[in-house]
Structure 1
Amino acid sequence: MSQTVEAAPAPAPSSEPPGRVRPGLASRLMARPEIGALVAAIIIFIFFLALAPSFRSAESFFTVLYQASVIGIVAVGVGLLMIGGEFDLSAGVIVYTAGLFASMFCWYYGVNLWLGAALSLVFCLLIGFLNGYLVMRTGIPSFLITLGTFFVLQGANLGVTKLVTGTVSSPDISNIDGFDSLGKIFASSFKVGPVTVWTSVLWWILFVALAAWTLQRARVGNWIFAVGGNPDSARAVGVPVVRTKIGLFMAVSFLGWFVGMHQLFRFNTLQAGGGVGNEFLYIIAAVVGGTLLTGGFGNAVGVAIGAFIFGMTSLGIIYAGWDPNWFKAFLGVMLLLAVLVNLYVKKMSTTRKVG
C-alpha cells in the first residue's frame, strides 16, 4: 500500500526586492517630527535639574506647565496652520484683542460678561476668516496679509482702549455680572496636595489631543497635510483647499480668543499693548517641535513639546539665578538648531517612504 506524501508549500515570494532592508525601530523613531524636540526637552530638563535646585520641586514643575500652556494653546493652532503651509503673525495680538473687546464692551454698556465673551469670539473668528479669505483670494503670502492684520489690531487695541477708558489698560471687570462663572471656565485652579494646578494646563492637553487626533485619524488631517505639501495636487484630487486653509486661520483665532479670555479673567484687566512678539514664540514652539516652515510636515505633540521647552527655559533661567536677558539669545539658537534638525528628520522620513 503506497503512502502519499504531501510536499511542503513553497514560501510566498517576498514583495521586497533582494537586498532591501526593512527600517528598524531606530530609523522609524528618527523619522518622527517630534523626536528632536523630545531629546532636547530631556536634555534641558536634566540640565536645569542639575543647576537650579528650586527647579526640582513639584510646584516649579507645574509652574513650568502653566507657562507652557499659555503659549502652547495658541501654538497648537499656529502649528496646524504651518503644517497647512501658512503663517499668522497676528496670533499674538489677537489674544489681547479678544480680552480688550470683551472687557470694554461690557464695562461701557453695562452688560453681562457672557455676552461680551460671545461677541468677542465672533469678532475673533471673523478676523481669522478674513485673514484666510484674503490669502486665498488674492494670492498674497499669508506673511504679508497677517502682518497687516497685526498692525491694524495693535493700533486699534491702543487707540480704542485709550478712547474708551482714557488709559492704555482695560477697566477692572471683577464686579461685572458673569465674572465668577466665566472665571471658573477660563482661569480657575485647584490644589493637588501643595501644588496649584491651573485649568489652562488641562485645556492645553485637551487641545493637543484633539489636534493630534485630527491630524492622524480624521479626513481633515489628511487635507491639512495635503494643502501644506502641494496645494495644486491636493486641489486636483478633490481636497477643498480654500475651505481647509480658511478653517485653519479661524482655528488660530479661536485659540487666541481662548487664551485672551484666560488672561482677562485671571488678571481682571489687560494692557492694550500686550501680545506683541508672542506670535514668534508660537512659531518657535512649532518649529522646535518638528514643524517645517515649508509646510506639510509636523504634528501636534511636537508643538506641545516645543511649548514645554519654552516654559522650562523661560523659568529655568530665572530659577538658576541667571540674567533673563539671555533668554532671547537662547531662543534664537534653539530655533536655528531646530530648523537644521527638522530638515534632517524630514530627509530621513522621505528616504524611508521612498525606500
Structure 2
Amino acid sequence: MEPNRLAAARDDRVATRPLPARLISRPEVGSLVGAIVIFLLFMAVAEPFRNVANVGTILYGASTIGIMAVPVALLMVGGEFDLSTGVAVTTSGLAASLFAWNFGLNVWVGVLLALALSLAIGAFNGWLLLKTGLPSFLVTLGTFFILQGVNLGVTRMLTGNVASSTISDMDGFDSAKEIFGSEVTLGPVNLKVTVLYWVILTSIAAYLLLRTQLGNWIFAVGGDADAARAVGVPVRATKIGLFMAVGFCAWLSGMHLLFQFNTVQSGEGVGKEFIFIIAAVIGGCLLTGGYGSVVGASIGALIFGMTQLGINYAGWNPDWFRAFLGLMLLLATIVNLYVKRKADLR
C-alpha cells in the first residue's frame, strides 16, 4: 500500500471528531439548549424566578416529573410506551393507604404491598405485550382505563368518597414520611426528598444505559428486537424489566404523593403520562426506539419545572402552558431527528 493511502486509512481509524461535532450528536443537546433558553427567559421577565428561595420549588416540580421521566425514557429507548404511568402512580398511593387503613396494618406493610402491586402491574404490561404482539400503545392504554376505573370504584366502595382516608395517626406513618415526604433546608432553599431520588435515579439509569451490557440490550431491543434476539439478547426479560422499572418508579412517586399529602385523590394522575413522555422526547428519545438519553429526559423534566412556575411568576395566563407542551413536543421531535442523523454519520 502506498504511504499516502496507508496514512489515510490510519487517519480514518483513529481520527478524533471535533468537539462541536461530538456535542451536536448527543441526544440531550436539544434539551440542554432549551433549558438554557427557558432559564434566561424567565430570569429576564419574572422577578420571583430570580429569588434563590424559589429554587427548591422549581426543583420539586421538576423532580416529581423527572422520577417518572427517567424510566419512561429507558422504556422508549427500548422501543415501547406506557400510557398508564400517571394513573399507576395514583394506584400505588391508594393501595398503600387502603391496605393499611382497611386491615389496620402498620403503614409499612401497606407500602410493601403497594410495591408488589406496582411491580406486578409493570410485569403484566410487559408480559401481555410480548404474549399478544399488540403495540404497547394499545396494551398500556387498556391498563390506563382499567386502573382509572379501579382507583375510583374501589376507593368509593371502601371509603364512601373519592379520596383515601387519612392514615397519619397509624403506626409507621411518621417513619415512612421521613423516607418519602421529608425535606432538608440548605440556606434559603428547601429541598424535598424527591429531588434526591430524582438525581439518584438519573445517575443510576445513565450509568446502566451507557456503561453496562444491560444498556446495550436496551438499545438493541429498541432498534430491532428480532435482530437483537438473533444475537442472543434476552428481549423478553429486557422489555419486562423495563416495564417493571416504570412500576417501581410509579410506586416511589405514589409513596411521596401519599406521605406528602396524607390522602390520595382517586382521580389523580390522569394526563400526566403525556407529560412524562413529552419530557423524554424533549430529552432526545425518538418515538421509534433505539435512541435517547435519560439525562436528557431529566433536563426535559427541569424545563417543565421551570416553565410551570415561570409562567405563574411572570403573571402570564397559565392556560398557555398546554400550548407550550405541544410546541415543545413538535420542536423536540424535529431536533431529535436532526441530531439522530448527525449521530448516524459518526
Q: TM-score range by the shorter chain?
A: over 0.9
Match of 1:221 in 2: 215
Match of 1:302 in 2: 296
Q: 1:241 is matched by which residue type in structure 2? A: V
Q: How does 1:1-355 map to 2 (within 5 A)?
A: 13-16=7-10, 23-352=17-346
Cα offset for 1:13?
A: 3.5
* Equivalent position SS for 1:203: helix
Q: 1:298 is matched by which residue type in structure 2? A: G
The answer (yes or no) to whether the contact 2:55–2:189 under 8 Å persists in 1 is no
| Deviation per residue, 1:174-198 (Å, 9 max, x gap) | 1011111111111100111121111
* Equivalent position SS for 1:176: coil
* Equivalent position SS for 2:307: helix
Match of 1:5 in 2: none
Q: Distance in 2 between matches of 1:62 and 1:189?
A: 10
The answer (yes or no) to whether the contact 2:58–2:305 under 8 Å persists in 1 is yes
| Deviation per residue, 1:289-328 (Å, 9 max, x gap) | 0010100101111010000001011110000001111000
Q: 1:52 is matched by which residue type in structure 2? A: A
TM-score between the two structures when normalised by the length of structure 1: 0.94
Q: 2:23 is matched by which residue type in structure 1? A: L
Cα offset for 1:165?
A: 0.2
Q: Distance in 1 between matches of 2:15 and 2:108?
A: 60
Cα offset for 1:330?
A: 0.4
Q: 2:223 is matched by which residue type in structure 1? A: G
Q: Distance in 2 between matches of 1:11 and 1:317?
A: 59
* Equivalent position SS for 2:310: helix
Identity over the aligned pairs, expressed in percent? 58
Q: Any stretches of 5+ residues in structure 2 without a counterpart?
A: none
| Deviation per residue, 1:270-292 (Å, 9 max, x gap) | 11000000000000000000010
Q: Distance in 1 between matches of 2:10 and 2:280?
A: 36
Q: Distance in 2 between matches of 1:16 and 1:61?
A: 51
Q: Which structure has greater helix proportion?
A: 2
Q: Distance in 2 between matches of 1:128 and 1:330?
A: 30
Q: Distance in 2 between matches of 1:48 and 1:13?
A: 52
Cα offset for 1:23?
A: 2.9
How many pairs does the alignment contain?
343
4+ aligned runs moved over 6 Å, structure 1: none
Q: Distance in 2 between matches of 1:11 and 1:324?
A: 62
Cα offset for 1:46?
A: 0.2
Q: 2:174 is matched by which residue type in structure 1? A: D
Q: Distance in 1 between matches of 2:104 and 2:10?
A: 72
Cα offset for 1:12?
A: 7.1
Q: Distance in 2 between matches of 1:314 and 1:341?
A: 22
Q: Any stretches of 5+ residues in structure 1 without a counterpart?
A: 1-9
The answer (yes or no) to whether the contact 2:74–2:242 under 8 Å persists in 1 is yes
Q: Which has the larger radius of gyration?
A: 1
